[in-house]
Amino acid sequence: MNKTSDVLSIHYVYVLFSIKDAKFYVGFTHNLRQRLKEHVLGNVNSTRFRRPLKLIHYEYFINEEDAKAREVFLKSGFGRSQLKLSLKRTLKGLKLNPF
């Protein structure tokens, strides 16, 4: 890091779980609270008809490229399977079987 302002750069990758269809939604944002509001209000086309949604995981990055790469990975088949494995207790707590 060569600038202090680099640390102030915030990037999130987040995972929502649709209670309606039992599927994941993986997204990227700079403002997690605002983006979650948009999902809840039905202002995001991809999740509008998949509500209710539950935030089950998020990751914080100071580098935008790293965050976007992580989002792409989590959207891949292998990334989704790894996500299910690492969140298996969370998913079990929702009384849903991810496999």
* Cα distance between residue 65 and residue 48, in whole Å: 27
In a domain, 98, yes or no: no
Full domain range(s) for residue 21: 5-93
In a domain, 83, yes or no: yes
In a domain, 55, yes or no: yes
> Is this prediction's pTM over 0.85?
yes
* Number of domains the chain contains: 1
In a domain, 99, yes or no: no
In a domain, 58, yes or no: yes
Cβ density class 32-47: b for 16+ within 10 Å, e for less: beebbeebeeeebeeb
Which three-class secondary structure string do you get for the chain?
CCCCHHHHCCEEEEEEEECCCCCEEEEEECCHHHHHHHHHCCCCCCCHHHCCEEEEEEEEECCHHHHHHHHHHHHCHHHHHHHHHHCHHHHHHCCCCCC
- The pLDDT assigned to 1 comes to 46
The pLDDT tens digits of the residues spanning 20-51 come to 999 999 999 999 999 999 999 999 999 999 99
- The pLDDT assigned to 99 comes to 47
The pLDDT tens digits of the residues spanning 59-95 come to 999 999 999 999 999 999 999 999 999 999 999 988 7
In a domain, 30, yes or no: yes
CATH code at position 74: 3.40.1440
